[in-house]
Amino acid sequence: VERKELPAAPQVKAKPFPGAAQRRRDQVAASFDGHRVRRAFKDPVTLEKTSRDGTARYKGGGAGRLSYDIVYDDGLVETVSPSVVRRHLLQIEQPAKALLTARSELPEQWDLREPAGVKRALALLMPGTQPTEALLARLAKRVPGGAAFLQRPGQRTPGQPECVETADEEIRPLLDTVDLSRCAGVLDPWTGKGNVARVLRQHGLLVHCNDVNPSHSADRHEDALQPDFYRRVLELWPYDAIVCSPWFALLDLALPLAVLFAPVVAMHVPGHFVTDAHDPTNL
């Protein structure tokens, strides 16, 4: 009997199981499938800029790869990465016509340095409410340019902190509850030290930051209590969600204004703002 040795079985290198962070990135990468996209192109002859609309089709492969085909309406097909698709997603349409009507009635700018100006603004933001004179005076002092604007830490009014730094543990429950991965962009108009934006970016979201204080690191340094601020950002950097932690003393202005400019709004607020709300806030 002839004895032969069996050939050794080929060694197959095991593919490492992706970690939680990689699985999350792959889920975000696949979530743009079927979304509408608009990309700008420059004509090589005339050098004029044109735009094409198309639909993103996911081919598989996960994040960090050329895993999407953009099928344009004129028949052209372009293979791109998920990050390219995300940057060029068409903005989600606003769901309520009444919201657009109310937004169009707002002026470009309003003067909030006096109680009378604050009262006119609240009449548009929360119609039918009757804010007290004390509330109007407090808001007028707290707005950018008001008597208490950016006051020193030792001079803050007792019981009225300007803001409280948002912890990572307070942001993660929001991400577990609300799916922001389908948003074309997220605006943080009160970025402060940037904790909210940092956590959102860690989850693959595109975030545009603003803070009126020029000492804070942000993409813009504008007054987020002015209606025209949101209009300008929408034109230059489309977003469909606002996530932020504004100054607590200004929530009566900041919250209803943000609601008019995004279908998804999430703000970090103190408990007493909900449990001990005055009549205008209840509405």
Residues listed for the chain: 283
What does pTM read for this prediction?
0.60
> What percent of the chain has a predicted confidence (pLDDT) above 70?
76
Q: Judge whether residue 257 has pLDDT over 60.
A: yes
Q: Which of 249, 267, 271 is nearest to 258 (CA)?
A: 267
For residues 20-41, average pLDDT: 79
For residues 146-170, average pLDDT: 57
In CATH, what class is 97-109+162-282?
A: alpha beta
Beta strands of 59-128 (E only): which ranges? 68-72, 77-80
Rounded to the nearest angstrom, the gap between the alpha carbon of residue 76 and the centroid of all alpha carbons in its chain is: 31
Q: pLDDT per residue over 182-202, tens digit each?
A: 888 999 999 999 999 999 999
pLDDT classification of 11: cutoffs 50, 70, 90: low
| pLDDT of 159 | 46
Q: pLDDT per residue over 133-143, tens digit each?
A: 998 998 888 88
| pLDDT of 232 | 93
Rounded to the nearest angstrom, the gap between the alpha carbon of residue 193 and the centroid of all alpha carbons in its chain is: 16
Q: What integer best gives the mean pLDDT of the chain?
A: 81
Provide the 10 A C-beta neighbour count for residue 13.
Answer: 5
Phi, psi values for residue 188, rounded to 5°: -115, 95
Q: Where are the domains of the chain?
A: 33-41+51-90, 97-109+162-282
| Lookup: tokens for 265 | 């709004």
pLDDT classification of 157: cutoffs 50, 70, 90: very low
CA atoms within 13 A on the CB side of 188: 25
Beta strands of 7-119 (E only): which ranges? 36-42, 49-58, 68-72, 77-80
Beta strands of 93-233 (E only): which ranges? 186-188, 207-209
